[in-house]
Structure 1
Amino acid sequence: MSLRRSSLVLAIVGVLLIAAAALIRFVLVPSMTKMPTEIDSRSTYTGSLQSFDPSKFALGDGVAFTVARHVDVDHVDGDVAVITSVSETQRPTGDSTSSHTYALSRVDYTQQSAPEGFEVEDQKGGMVFSLPMNPSPDGNTLYDTVTREAITLEHVGDSVLEGRDVFELRGNLTAPIADPAVLAPAQAGIAAMAGVGDGSVLPKQTLQVLAGVLPPEKAQPITAALAAQPDLVPVVLTVDTTIDMNIDTRFGSPLRSVQDQTTVLNMKNGDELIPLLDLSRAVVSTDDASVANTASKLSSSETMLDIVSKWLPLLLTVIGVVLIAVAFLRRRPEPATPSAGEVDDASGDVLEATTS
């Protein structure tokens, strides 16, 4: 049996539709899930800051502050993107801006080597923008810009936030301040208070006075260590950070983060750090409007991605298969060919007619 011309057209269209479904599923969809060459990610965080109050010899009352974070793509080199995260902090005592640049894979958002001509920060393998699509809840880390270390994130539960399924992750880290933009002004304040040094040392006499006004449980290790210290005692600034994050289970994007960070002045005693004073404590979290906005964008992206990755290829494949089946069923039957016996009988009839 042969195909009619219309059936052949149906079969060709069916094959093309199935090929289009494969291209969408295996070419278009992966490109849609990559980091775009242009992004405009903005989030707002609100919090409270307590600073050391000499009159109370403890942390004072909290003052409100806000942080506006903007992430932008500076450069794209194939599947590597150079991004810059800018945070603008507004406090009653004054505003400040911090900026950090990273090189990330556009496929899974992991750390990459910087393209030629760019300088980026070593994020120690930690997340700085987002986890990859369909992330694992385990084995994740978050880069802390203040200490320039990666915080291990533990999966502590699952929940729903603004209609999105999220992983609840929590991390803790205590480490020395390493970011010069944070360390320099803090050490300048210590130097001004001590009247000597660059903020990396304090007079032994000052620490003896300090030990005299601290509770006995805190004063005892300080007094014991001071006996072997020089006149200028080395001090180190550390931060104790606790962070809770809600990570979208489909896209890997952070919806909400709550960070509690205390800056501590420590006396260095060999390899040991002995806490002296809490200098400040900042508690900051993503505001509700930013959470809702991010969740809405993710839901819209998920709907579009499901249409393109699942329903559109499925629809094209089904239509293609149906067209091919219709073309097969509409085949033109072959003309009947007489058998050899039938041909001989016919010839005999003709012969008899001729001779009679």
Structure 2
Amino acid sequence: MLVRRSSKILLAVGVLFIALAALVRFVLVPTLSKLPGDLDVNPVYEGTGTLLNAKALQAGDIANVIVSNAPVRIDRHIYVSSTDGDTAIAHDDIVLEAAGLSVPSNHTYAIDRKTIDAANGDTGKGIEPHSGMTIALPLLPNPSASYHYYDSATGTTVPMTYLNSGAVSGRDILNYSVEAKGILRDPAIAGALPPALPKSLVGSLAPLLPAAVQHSLGGALGQLPDPVPFTYTADTHINLAADRTLGSSIDAKLNQQIIANVNVGGQLVPVMPVLSIDTSLNKQSISDAVASAKSQTMQLNLISVVAPVVLVLGVLALLMAIFRRHPRAITRPPAQRENPSVR
């Protein structure tokens, strides 16, 4: 009875361990191998910038129209609000602050949690159509892969150029560069800029402009309508250090120019940059990104070890249960036959 009871216990333990291994392998590992549903980070960029002083412009204070070397801070709130299978609704809420100017620009994306690219299918109202990476790279990014980046300022998708590998605060990283140029299509940023200026004011700005621009603009100023309408373009350069395991951003630099242009004879002539920033992630954001990457990597490593160990223990318990339930018969040696010659 004791043998049968112990074999039943071992059988139950074996089945439990194998079920636990299956749970880890087919539930926990896939969950940790894609964009987390509880993602919520607040990276901050800091640096300097040159920007248009709207108050001085409206007052006709030409000498103070341009603010140079102003402190710039960009707060990003990146989070996932909901998930549905492999689709996540991710938000990238951005606030740029410089010289008393505060410009919010919020973006909502439907992201494939595995590829981190745009999710397929109808994703609902308020979702910004896009293609390419927005908030991170996929898990275990491949340096040989052709990744693309969605630039929210221009609404275009551009290649991500792999540069090299390296390390930041003990984390192995892959360095990428991104360049995007085009018509400014972000409604939040465009809405903070004057759509047009009186012709007299544009003429007053001419002495502040480069000689080549003064030449192009000077001859055409009389032909332009009053007020003079502007077309804004964006020129963005990003250097990104992505975690080699998780694909998350560990460090980044953002340089961006918003340029006011006028249409002269069907050609856009750049008048002046109304916003030019040179920023990078601050130390605290880098430290937070490194700590988060270490924690998530530790969980992945632990899970990858636990699953096979538990599976092996489960199989061993089953084998022991079978052995105890059906022990091998102990064979006795055959009795020696009596030698008939010996009497």
In structure 2, relative to structure 1, the CA distance for the partners of 1:158 and 1:177 (3 Å cut) is same
Unaligned runs of 5+ in 2: 54-61, 336-343
Confirm or deny: 8 A CA contact 2:104 2:188 kept in the other structure: no
Give how far 1:161 is off.
0.9
Q: Which runs of 5+ in 1 are unaligned?
A: 197-201, 343-356
Q: CA deviation at 1:139?
A: 1.6
1:46-195 correspondence to structure 2 within 5 Å = 46-51=46-51, 54-55=62-63, 60-112=67-119, 113-116=121-124, 118-123=125-130, 125-137=131-143, 138-188=145-195, 190-191=196-197, 193-194=198-199
Alignment of 1:251-290 (within 5 A): 251-269=246-264, 272-290=267-285
Task: Quickly say closer, same or farther: Cα 1:108–1:213, change in 2 above 3 A.
Answer: closer
Equivalent residue number for residue 298 of structure 1? 293
Aligned length: 321
Per-residue CA deviations over 1:188-209 (Å, capped at 9, x if unaligned) read 4x42x5369xxxxx7xxx49x9
2:314 is the alignment partner of 1:323: no
Q: What is the identity, as a one-letter code, of the residue corresponding to 1:92?
A: A
State the Cα deviation string for residues 260-290 of structure 1 (Å, max 9, x = none).
Answer: 1122233435664333323331112111101
- Deviations along 1:126-157, whole A, 9 cap, x unmatched? 22222221122332222222212223210011
CA separation of 1:14 and 1:214: change in aligned 2, threshold 3 A: closer
CA contact (8 A) 2:237 2:256 kept: yes
Give distance in 1, aligned partners of 2:236 and 2:94: 18
Contact kept, 8 Å, 1:211 with 1:223, in 2: the verdict is: no
Kept in 2, the 8 Å contact 1:211–1:222? The answer is no
Aligned equivalent of 2:241, options 243, 246, 256: 246
Q: Which runs of 4+ in 1 moved over 6 A?
A: none
The Cα RMSD (Å) is 3.5
Larger radius of gyration: 1
TM-score for both structures, normalised by structure 1: 0.76
Deviating more after overlay: 265-274 vs 102-111: 265-274
**If the length of structure 2 is used for normalisation, what is the TM-score?**
0.79
Deviations 1:65-106 (A, max 9, x none): 212211233333333222222223333323332211111223
Aligned identity (percent) is 24
Partners of 1:152 and 1:103 in 2: CA distance: 20
Check 1:248–1:271 CA distance in 2 against 1; reply closer, same or farther (3 A cut). Answer: farther
Structure 1 position 218, deviation (Å) = 4.9
Please give the secondary structure, in 1, of the residue aligned with 2:236.
Answer: strand
Three-state SS of the structure 2 residue aligned to 1:122 is coil
**C-alpha displacement at 1:33, in angstroms?**
2.8
